[in-house]
Amino acid sequence: MDIDVKELKSKMDRGDDFVLIDVREPGEHQGFNIGGQLVPLGVFSQTIPKMDALKDEEIIVYCRSGMRSATAQHLLLQAGFKNVRNLIGGVLAWQEAFGSEV
């Protein structure tokens, strides 16, 4: 259920329909982001009930390295979300593959 940066970039370039969520902290998000909506992991559990309409949507979560987003993925799956993917390697893998290109 995970996704790598090349597949994500292809989905973005095609304009595929999915929800992209950045679970890093605001300072990290401001420094560099790939377009995801910011929902820091520290408040993620409280935000899940507000995301109920997205239960059947494809959701891709990311963080710096993929660890925090793996936690977010687990929380969403436990809450009944059907298609939650974690960006393998996070922003670090994105920057390694594409630099600062979004």
Residue 53, C-beta contacts closer than 8 angstroms, at least 6 positions apart:
none
Please confirm, yes or no, whether 71 is among the known catalytic residues.
no
Q: Which of 20, 63, 70, 87 is catalytic?
A: 63
Least Cα distance to 50 among 22, 18, 81, 12 occurs for: 81
Distance CA 76, CA 63 (A): 15
Q: Which residues pair with 87 in a beta bridge?
A: 3
Give the catalytic positions in this structure: 63
